[in-house]
Amino acid sequence: MKILNDINFNEFINDEKLSVVDFYADWCGPCKMIAPILEELEKELSDVNFGKLNVDGSDISFKYGVMSIPTIMVFKKGDVIKTSTGLVSKDELKNIILNK
Amino acid sequence: MYDVIIIGAGIAGLTSSIYLKRANKNILVLEGNVYGGQIINSSRVENYPGISKITGYEFANNLYNQVKELGVEIKYEMALRIIDGNIKKIITNNNKYECKSIIIATGVTKRKLGIENKYIGKGVSYCATCDGNFYKGKDVAIVGSGNTALEDALYLSNICSKVYIIIRSSNFKGDEILIDEILSHNNVEVLYNSNVTNLFGDNNLERIEINNDYNIDVDGLFIAIGQVPDNDCFKEIIDIDEKGYIKALEDCKTNKDGIFVAGDCRTKKLRQLVTAASDGAIAATEAIKYVGGKK
């Protein structure tokens, strides 16, 4: 999982490959539960970039309208193509990422 | 064939897996979502004997690690149906499993208002400690009158400019100590005998309608109106009460021999971490007896 911040965020989401961003915070229990699921998916889906952005102290979450965490956003060449809010199972998350 | 299959990896299900594994039973835990159950949403647990303070996530994770260290097999599949018999079968979204005994520990999920879907993640939240910081300095409302609603209100009153608590009746249902504390906060206003009847806002939530009568402007609505079980898929063979809970007494025995129920999904008066763990131990012990008697 690449650690994202205000400096590297745009470059990350504009990549040719699909990019998955985990909006999280340290105070959020469900975020901690979904983190290892994303790490597993990162190993399985080699064609997808995985990154995480700590919403605490970042304006990016505000820009993308994130008001609930965990929020998982899937980007394709800079555009948001899928958003998922809350704790979901690994299978469900995989389907969201692969747009099934 | 497994000796016992446990449906659900919340506190009750995982506790039963400890007892069964330590009795050398061949077991499988099926979980349709993520392990840990509802407790992962609690920012602090302070009423579990022997642990003075812990987060819900840490508690769930400690239990999960304990279970994994014992070598318990957990599969992330959704149980869709049970077929009863001398050998019992469980059909999941991926597979079919056979076992001698089953423990149902499917827990509960958060109750929804039913009108909020459009605004989930856009002003509506079910987790104040997760999302409260997005509403720093803003006006918010909480619907609910129990301890979760009160704890949420306390948390939010320290972050938000104004906190409305919307409760259906003329009384809170939570602990006195919390009620007294919340009523002492100047930025908290309680709307008694009130129901949220509609939500408005172009993209994000902007205001909520109360009693089909008047609106209040808020940026956030936190929903804490209790929990509901989801046992519909078992109702053809297992007795379920009118609220959806699986009928059983403290011995955790359902109407079917060899099928037990543990935790929040059972008919009971008190749904707590400690009673979920207790059910897990009882159901496991009963299942061990049942499986032993079959040899």
Runs of H (alpha helix) within chain B: 11-22, 56-69, 128-131, 147-157, 176-183, 273-293
Annotation marks residue A31 as catalytic? yes
One-letter amino acid for residue A94 of the chain: K
Chain segment A17-46, per-residue pLDDT in tens? 999 999 999 989 999 999 999 999 999 999
Yes or no, beta carbons of B129 and A27 under 8 Å apart: yes
Q: Search chain B and give the residue with CA nearest A86.
A: B121
Within 8 A of A29 by CB-CB distance, chain B residues are 40-43, 55-57, 127, 129-130
The length of chain A in residues reads 100
Runs of H (alpha helix) within A14-87: 29-44, 60-63
> Rounded CA gap, B172 and B178, in Å?
10
Pick from A48, A77, A53: which is nearest to A2 by CA?
A: A53
| Residue A80 sits at the chain B interface (C-beta within 8 Å) | no
Q: Search chain B and give the residue with CA nearest A87.
A: B34
CB pairs under 8 A between A and B: 82
Chain segment A36-92, per-residue pLDDT in tens? 999 999 999 999 999 999 999 888 998 999 999 999 999 999 999 999 999 999 999
Buried b (16+ CB within 10 A) or exposed e, B95-114: eebebbbbbbbbbbebeebe
Annotation marks residue A28 as catalytic? yes
> What torsion, rounded to 10 degrees, do the Cα atoms A50, A54, A55, A58 define?
-100
Q: Which of A26, A27, A28 to mutate to test the interface with B (most CBs of B within 10 A)?
A: A28
ipTM, two decimals, is 0.84
Host H or E run for residue A11? helix A9-13
DSSP for B243-264? TSPBP--TT-B-SSTTEEE-ST
Place of tokens 């104040």: B128
What pLDDT does residue B293 have? 75
Yes or no, beta carbons of A29 and B134 under 8 Å apart: no
Within 8 A of A67 by CB-CB distance, chain B residues are 121-123, 125, 131, 134-135, 204, 220
Task: Give the model's confidence band at A100: pLDDT under 50 very low, under 70 low, under 90 confident, else very high.
Answer: confident
What part of B 142-201 touches A (C-beta under 8 Å)?
A: none
What pLDDT does residue B295 have? 55
Which two three-digit tokens encode residue B166? 């919307």
**A83: closest CA of chain B, how far (Å):** 10
Residue B266, class by beta-carbon neighbours within 10 Å (0-12 exposed, 13-18 middle, 19+ buried)?
Answer: buried
Within 8 A of A25 by CB-CB distance, chain B residues are 130, 133
Host H or E run for residue A82? strand A79-85
Pick from B266, B286, B275: which is nearest to B105 by CA?
A: B266
Q: How does pLDDT run along chain B (295 residues), one tens digit per residue?
A: 999 999 999 999 999 999 999 999 999 999 999 999 999 988 888 889 999 999 999 999 999 999 999 999 999 999 999 999 999 999 999 999 999 999 999 999 999 999 999 999 899 999 998 899 999 999 999 999 998 899 899 999 999 999 999 999 999 998 899 899 999 999 999 999 999 999 999 999 999 999 999 999 999 999 999 999 989 999 999 999 999 999 999 999 999 999 999 999 999 999 999 999 999 999 999 999 999 976 5
**A8: closest CA of chain B, how far (Å):** 23
> Rounded CA gap, B107 and B9, in Å?
9
One-letter amino acid for residue A84 of the chain: S
> Rounded CA gap, B194 and B53, in Å?
35
What pLDDT does residue A57 have? 81
Sequence-distant (6+) residues with CB within 8 A of B83 are B89, B90, B91
| Residue A40 sits at the chain B interface (C-beta within 8 Å) | no
Which two three-digit tokens encode residue B294? 């079959």
What pLDDT does residue B41 have? 86
* CB contact at 8 A, A21 and A34: no
State the pTM of this model. 0.89
